[in-house]
């Protein structure tokens, strides 16, 4: 088989294998969710010698799979975060990797093109999963003031914290409803409110839930008026959300600057090509020029990613 056909086939097989790994990553979490839901709906059933357990059997650790899941930012523990099915995201990553590898064949050797195909496929998959996680966390963060207000009203009416959490799980819209449904189930299994909320913070990445968990934990240990404490927390969360929105607006100027800097080489090159015939021929018709053009595009993409990383780090809570 010619090298020009062998490389795309190899890249396609590798990216398909990566997609199958991604599809397998969230199996355990989904199975646990189904078993918890079944126990919650039907009660604890007796199976053979004793009551049925919702715990999964211990499996051998898979460090490679865990590292791949962390790198791709797969929301395995956030089923409501998926805008697209995991298979669709994996297919998009495959398509991007194969397309990038095929294009790289025009400028680089086959082994370099293969590395580019794999890298592009993984980065596209990571970007899509990361966007889903950020979108989900932002929805949770925006609903948190209403959640705390409802919780404060319930506590002020004399309801215990567990019952107030059940009211939040019933009254608020998604995704807060689903997440607090999980919190209520964890509390029914024996965890306290602080532990359940800290677990919510760890799987969603919303820092305000960690503040909420610490506040409830300190109040439970030291005593005091819970309603006033929760009301003060609601005001703090509102101020944090307003501050984050202001920081995002101020970062818009830096984002526009990054887009302009990335687009200027293309605009300048097009202008020079229209005013001077043959100005870009070396980049289009010679192997060395095409290689330099591809290297420049790759460096520009890396610069864009670096600028976005700097902006997100500066505006992070």
**Euclidean distance between CA atoms 247 and 311, whole angstroms:** 10
Q: Which residue has the higher pLDDT, 140 or 223?
A: 140
Q: Which tokens sit at 48?
A: 């053979």
Closest by CA to 185, choosing from 173, 169, 161, 204, is 169
Measured in degrees and rounded to the nearest 5, phi and psi for residue 51 equal: -65, 145
- Residue 45, pLDDT score: 39
- Residue 23, pLDDT score: 56
Instruction: Please say if the pLDDT value at position 47 is more than 50.
Output: no
CB 118 within 8 A of CB 97: yes
- Residue 273, pLDDT score: 83
**Euclidean distance between CA atoms 62 and 60, whole angstroms:** 6
DSSP 8-state code for residue 55: P
What pLDDT band is residue 285 in, cutting at 50, 70 and 90? confident
Measured in degrees and rounded to the nearest 5, phi and psi for residue 50 equal: -165, -175
Instruction: Please say if the pLDDT value at position 48 is more than 50.
Output: no
CB 51 within 8 A of CB 39: no
Percent of the chain with pLDDT over 70: 79
Q: Which tokens sit at 274?
A: 């229209």
**Euclidean distance between CA atoms 14 and 94, whole angstroms:** 9
DSSP 8-state code for residue 47: E
CB 76 within 8 A of CB 66: no
- Residue 53, pLDDT score: 47
Instruction: Please say if the pLDDT value at position 91 is more than 50.
Output: yes
CB 78 within 8 A of CB 70: no
Bridge partner list, 46: 51
**Euclidean distance between CA atoms 201 and 208, whole angstroms:** 8
Percent of the chain with pLDDT over 90: 5
Instruction: Please say if the pLDDT value at position 101 is more than 80.
Output: yes
Burial (CB < 10 A; 0-12, 13-18, 19+), residue 23, is: middle
Q: Which tokens sit at 10?
A: 């190899």
What pLDDT band is residue 52 in, cutting at 50, 70 and 90? very low
Instruction: Please say if the pLDDT value at position 224 is more than 80.
Output: no
pLDDT digits (tens, 9 = 90+) for 233-261: 878 888 887 887 787 777 777 778 878 88
- Helix 86-104 and helix 110-156: axis angle, to 10°? 150
Q: What number is the average pLDDT over the span 131-143?
A: 89
- Residue 8, pLDDT score: 57
What pLDDT band is residue 29 in, cutting at 50, 70 and 90? low
**Euclidean distance between CA atoms 247 and 239, whole angstroms:** 12
What pLDDT band is residue 54 in, cutting at 50, 70 and 90? very low
- Residue 180, pLDDT score: 92
pLDDT digits (tens, 9 = 90+) for 148-206: 888 888 888 888 888 889 998 998 898 999 999 999 999 888 888 889 999 999 888 88
Q: Which residue has the higher pLDDT, 286 or 179?
A: 179
Closest by CA to 220, choosing from 282, 133, 162, 284, is 162
**Euclidean distance between CA atoms 194 and 183, whole angstroms:** 10
Bridge partner list, 51: 46
Q: Which residue has the higher pLDDT, 40 or 135?
A: 135
Ranges of beta strands (E only) in the chain are 46-47, 50-51
Instruction: Please say if the pLDDT value at position 44 is more than 50.
Output: no
- Residue 136, pLDDT score: 92
Instruction: Please say if the pLDDT value at position 60 is more than 80.
Output: no
**Euclidean distance between CA atoms 190 and 179, whole angstroms:** 17
- Residue 12, pLDDT score: 59
Strands 46-47 and 50-51: antiparallel
- Residue 289, pLDDT score: 81
**Euclidean distance between CA atoms 51 and 44, whole angstroms:** 7
């Amino acid at each position: 088989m010619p090298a020009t056909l062998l490389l795309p086939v190899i890249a396609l097989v590798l990216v398909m294998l990566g997609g199958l790994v991604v599809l397998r990553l969230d199996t355990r979490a989904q199975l646990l969710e189904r078993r918890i839901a079944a126990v919650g709906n039907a009660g604890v059933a007796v199976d053979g010698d004793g009551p049925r357990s919702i715990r999964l059997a211990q499996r051998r650790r898979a460090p490679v799979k865990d590292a791949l899941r962390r790198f791709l930012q797969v929301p395995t523990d956030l089923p409501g975060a998926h805008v697209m099915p995991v298979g669709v995201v994996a297919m998009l990553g495959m398509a991007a990797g194969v397309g990038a590898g095929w294009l790289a064949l025009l400028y680089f050797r086959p082994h370099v093109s293969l590395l580019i195909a794999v890298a592009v496929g993984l980065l596209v998959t990571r970007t899509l999963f990361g966007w889903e996680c950020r979108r989900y966390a932002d929805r949770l963060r925006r609903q948190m003031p209403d959640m705390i207000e409802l919780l404060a009203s319930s506590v002020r009416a004399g309801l215990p914290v567990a019952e107030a959490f059940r009211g939040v799980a019933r009254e608020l819209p998604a995704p807060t409803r689903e997440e607090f449904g999980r919190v209520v189930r964890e509390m029914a299994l024996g965890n306290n409110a602080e532990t359940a909320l800290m677990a919510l913070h760890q799987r969603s990445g919303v820092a305000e839930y960690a503040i909420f968990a610490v506040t409830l934990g300190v109040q439970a240990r030291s005593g005091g008026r819970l309603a006033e404490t929760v009301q003060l927390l609601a005001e703090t969360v509102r101020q944090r959300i307003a501050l984050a929105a202001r920081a995002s607006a101020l970062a818009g100027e830096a984002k526009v600057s990054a887009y302009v800097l990335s687009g200027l080489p293309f605009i300048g090159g097009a202008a020079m090509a229209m005013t001077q015939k043959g100005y870009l021929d070396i980049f289009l018709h010679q192997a060395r020029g095409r290689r330099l053009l591809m290297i420049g595009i790759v460096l520009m993409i890396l610069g864009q990613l670096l600028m976005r990383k700097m902006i997100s780090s500066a505006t992070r809570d």
